[in-house]
Amino acid sequence: MPIVSAPTPPAGNRSVTINNPSQSAGDWATLLNLTLNSNAGAIAVPAGAYGNFAANGSNGFILGVPGAHVPAIYSFQSLTLNNGAQIQVGRPGSVGCGQRV
């Protein structure tokens, strides 16, 4: 079997909790952990290496860029979805970001 390289470790050092749509995760390059609570909604996440992400309730994460010509690569130490939270995935060449996982 071929050797699989270890995932990229996260470089961020900040933990953020978002409770409503007016709040922001801030600089994604420094973000380590992200929690979505209350009415945060669906948050678009740029590709990168992150720590622990959790979504609660009807919130969720939007991964990938619909219609992109290259795949977006993500690395999470953990990704937790609770109580109906969702992940939406936009894949290269797709028209919309409606694929739910």
Summarize pLDDT for 7-50 with one digit per residue, the tens: 889 999 999 999 999 999 999 999 999 999 999 999 999 999 99
Number of domains in the chain: 1
Question: Is residue 49 included in any domain, yes or no?
Answer: yes
As a whole number, the mean pLDDT across the chain is 89
Which structural domain range is residue 37 located in?
14-100
Mean pLDDT within 80-87? 95
Question: Is residue 25 included in any domain, yes or no?
Answer: yes
Task: Give Cα separations from 82 to 11, 36, 59, 87, 93 (angstroms).
Answer: 26, 10, 9, 11, 30
Question: Is residue 85 included in any domain, yes or no?
Answer: yes
Sheet of 99-100, strand order? 42-45, 60-63, 86-89, 99-100
Sequence letter at residue 57: G
pLDDT score recorded for residue 8: 87
**Angstrom distance (rounded) from CA 34 to CA 78:** 11
pTM of the model: 0.85
pLDDT score recorded for residue 101: 47
